[in-house]
Structure 1
């Protein structure tokens, strides 16, 4: 068994950290968590002790380690091929990888305009054109995947694709509702109600109780 440690940032803010953390939690990949509070004096120095790039997330094991949420997902799949990180069916697996690659590399308007905030819900902010465009594309990805799989997750069972789109579910709850995403409420509820998502939210609430956002 590989001894894994996942270095992450604030649970209320770090969508990049949420993805591999949720993936490994839901699929019961054993790991230790190392949380580093971001945007503080000394944060950069502390990060560099654990991550050569000074960025989170970062996965380490023994004498090895790797950054980047997608690279981490692929590495975990290599370590634990039996865990179902990707769909078993070849075509579904290719589609899942394409969906994850789009999320990983795109949707900049959504990321920049609606930063992840796990604590607050239903802010009811406007949905500017750039965000609406990103959400329409995400809706199309979800529609194609769910139409083929029948749910409850994008490719039937929980996979890396769901972990990578979990921050989108969070953003819609924070800033929505959004009409374009209404047909996918059942899917969003399935992601939001995962025990691991509640555990992550409780971590975010604890950060607020500690005064991290005052």
Structure 2
């Protein structure tokens, strides 16, 4: 399989399936398209009809775009890895918060873009952003209390955690106010070897997108 991704420093959507596949030990070819360049859209369209990444190309040649669709496909193909909780109620809960992440938190996305290399404590902390941060904190705290952590649905890093991994990166960069439970969760996620590998690769990248970097 091939996974088409963007820069690891910037591409929050790409991080989700990459981290999950690495964590599961699934072999795949990584194809990176540098974002913010004149030919970026054209290069992405060679693989993804939506013109967006990530995009998973299966062994059969089928393209699957959108990070959540990729995670669902992986869950079907590799049920032994338990990407979603086995309990139906917990599984529905996990899918609900994953979809909330996929379709929401626009203020956090726009005001706190993922820049793994940066440290910008306090930046972007508008009232609207902080309201969304509080909602994310509440989601994490409820899950950690109900399922006993250290991950959102227990002892296993799963699809819901992969969906929130870019938020972990953002919160490391911007350091908004968080509960003790949320801060502990951040430490649990950043300690996952696949997450550490993504962060290490992002730190080593030299490509810059001025739109993000010039706003430091």
Confirm or deny a common fold (TM above 0.5). yes
Q: Which runs of 5+ in 2 are unaligned?
A: 211-216
- Mapping for residues 57-96 of structure 1, pairs under 5 Å: 57-61=54-58, 62-96=60-94
Residue number in structure 2 paired with 1:16: 13
Counterpart among 100, 103, 124 of residue 102 in structure 1: 100
Q: Structure 2 length normalisation: TM-score?
A: 0.91
Count of residue correspondences:
208
Counterpart among 111, 114, 135 of residue 112 in structure 2: 114
Q: Which runs of 5+ in 1 are unaligned?
A: none
Is 1:158 the counterpart of 2:154? The answer is no
Contact 1:27 1:84 in 2 (8 A): no
Residue number in structure 1 paired with 2:34: 37
Residue number in structure 2 paired with 1:189: 187
Give 1:126 deviation, angstroms.
Answer: 4.9
Which whole-Å CA distance do the structure 1 matches of 2:11 and 2:25 have between them?
Answer: 21
Residue number in structure 2 paired with 1:212: 208
- The one-character-per-residue Cα deviations of 1:139-194 (angstroms, maximum 9, x if unpaired) are 11111111111111000111111011111111111011x22344321111010122
Contact 2:17 2:67 in 1 (8 A): yes
Q: Structure 1 length normalisation: TM-score?
A: 0.92
Which whole-Å CA distance do the structure 2 matches of 1:83 and 1:89 have between them?
Answer: 14
The runs of at least 4 aligned residues of structure 1 exceeding 6 Å deviation read none
Is 1:124 the counterpart of 2:119? The answer is no
Other structure's SS at 2:202 match:
helix
Counterpart among 176, 199, 202 of residue 200 in structure 2: 202
Contact 1:135 1:181 in 2 (8 A): no
Tell me: CA distance 1:179–1:41, structure 2 relative to 1, closer, same or farther (3 Å): closer
Which whole-Å CA distance do the structure 2 matches of 1:202 and 1:99 have between them?
Answer: 27
